[in-house]
Amino acid sequence: MGARKKKAKKKGAMLRGRFAARIHPALDGINRSYDIDCRMWAEDICGSMAHATMLAEQDIISNAAARRIVRGLEEIAGEFEAGTFKAKKTDEDIHMAVERRLTELIGKDGARLHTGRSRNDQVATDLRLYLHALSLRVAEAVRDVQRVLVALAERDGEMVMPFYTHMQRAQPVLLGHALLAYVEMLARDITHAHYALEECPLGAGAGAGTSFPINRKLTAKLLGFKRPSANSLEAVSSRSDAARVTAGLAGVAVTLSRLGADLVLWTSREFGFARLGDAVSTGSSIMPQKRNPDGAELLRAKATRVTSASQRLFEIQRGLPLGYFKDLQEDKSALFEAEDALMEMLDVAEAMLGDIAFDADRMRAAVEDPSGFLLATEAADFLVRKGVPFREAHESVAALVREAEEAGAGLESLGLDRFRAVHSAFDKSIHAALTPEGALRARRAFGGPSPANVKRAVRRWRNMLLD
Ligand code: ARG
């Protein structure tokens, strides 16, 4: 052994055998991913246990060696759980750290673990296991937010409020309908973040498989996958699953950002629809009276962390030739950043929704404000029910709105003669039809905001969200 080689070895640097010099600190810094990918320690250990078990099953290593490896890995898992695992500066990533520690603990059998495997298939496997667990964690946290929304809809759902198009008051709805809209949006989003274990990359080696008689069906099964992936090059090259799941997380984040935007509006003095509790409100460093919805604003802004992480996961792969490249190592920081931001957002959304009071009077006032003409569609529909074509009815009511606006009055305060002047099909029952309650009761087609529909939807969601 030459003196220079000895020096590289003495520093304990694995994978430096063919080099005469130690790794340059700058390269080491950019190349090292342990601090990020140590988050996948559990997945890495599971993958290694399955691999060792399979190697023994196939007589590639002895049963005794596999037993020692699995026991050693259990011990390492215990160290991670207890927070006592000590990474070394020479541990390039979680895979090298676990393998290094295993060999420290059990000696040369530890060095047999990497038979017929590469970090390329190892990391692809760890990542898929992680995506699966992550998608379950996110789904649970989303359900927590949905539960609070449904509880609010149950408590205050019958309050009447305006809904908006173009940020202009449009028509009356029920608060419950608006809250359940978010429940539905989150339900849709979470289906896009769902990740099932289908194809196991383990056994793809560096990209060209292995010459050992491995049993990929066995490792796939041990790890909970449906089957081994069918092409070793695809297995090590692709991060499309991570990109797809992160895009799903981005969908959830975007919905939360919109909820944040509504909370900002609803809690403003201008709207006055809602008030956040003290614990979920923030103050100002100069204005003593302030009661700010910082949490809601951060829901809006933090969503960009998730959407940009999703974009990064696609961008990292864009233009990459087939095969494994270190570019792909950047996938984890993007995924974990998306995870951290989203989990924080889900927590704060749950906290704010759990401590909010709605102001039924303010919301009703916004509906009944005569200058809003929120019941104009009702007047048009009234004519349609009398046989008038909708376009003609629309035209007549528009003329009526113009007249009322000039008089500074609401539609409902115009006398029957004014109604009949624009269209003879109006009769004395028109005024009774022009109430928010009447409008809402009539909107009972499936998916509409009638009180009966909202009640039914609340019940349906409550049952679906039971533990
Ligand atoms: N740390 C690497 C990653 O996260 C996995 C190791 C593959 N490294 C390699 N030199 N082939 O992608």
284 counts as catalytic: yes
What are the structure tokens assigned to 424, written together? 């003879």
What fold does the segment set 119-364 form as a domain? Fumarase C; Chain A, domain 2 (1.20.200)
pLDDT, position 460: 97
Question: What's the gap in Å between 126 CA and the centre of ligand 1?
Answer: 11
Which of 284, 371, 413, 424 does the annotation list as catalytic? 284
Q: Is 122 in the pocket of ligand 1 (CB under 6 A)?
A: no
Question: What would the CATH number be for the domain defined by 365-466?
Answer: 1.10.40.30
Residue range 24-112 forms a domain whose CATH class is mainly alpha
Q: Is 93 in the pocket of ligand 1 (CB under 6 A)?
A: yes
Give residue limits of the domains in the chain: 24-112, 119-364, 365-466
Query: Of all atoms in ligand 1, which is nearest to the CA of residue 328?
Result: 12
φ/ψ (deg, to 5) at 450? -65, 150
Q: Is 103 in the pocket of ligand 1 (CB under 6 A)?
A: no
At residue 232, the 3 state secondary structure works out as helix
Question: What's the gap in Å between 329 CA and the centre of ligand 1?
Answer: 6
Q: pLDDT, tens digit, for every residue of 284-306? A: 888 888 889 999 999 999 999 99
pLDDT, position 373: 94
pLDDT, position 8: 45
Phi-psi region of 373 (alpha: psi -120 to 50; beta: other; left: phi over 0): left
Residue 150, C-beta contacts closer than 8 angstroms, at least 6 positions apart = 179, 180, 183, 458, 461, 462, 465
Each of the 467 residues of the chain gets a pLDDT tens digit; together they read: 444 444 444 445 778 889 999 999 999 999 999 999 999 999 999 999 999 999 999 999 999 999 999 999 999 999 999 999 999 999 999 999 999 999 999 999 999 999 999 999 999 999 999 999 999 999 999 999 999 999 999 999 999 999 999 999 999 999 999 999 999 999 999 999 999 999 999 999 999 999 999 999 999 999 999 999 999 999 999 999 999 999 999 999 999 999 999 999 999 999 999 999 999 988 888 888 888 999 999 999 999 999 999 999 999 999 999 999 999 999 999 999 999 999 999 999 999 999 999 999 999 999 999 999 999 999 999 999 999 999 999 999 999 999 999 999 999 999 999 999 999 999 999 999 999 999 999 999 999 999 999 999 999 999 999 87
φ/ψ (deg, to 5) at 292? -100, 150
Question: What's the gap in Å between 308 CA and the centre of ligand 1?
Answer: 23
281 counts as catalytic: no
Question: What's the gap in Å between 116 CA and the centre of ligand 1?
Answer: 16
pLDDT, position 283: 86
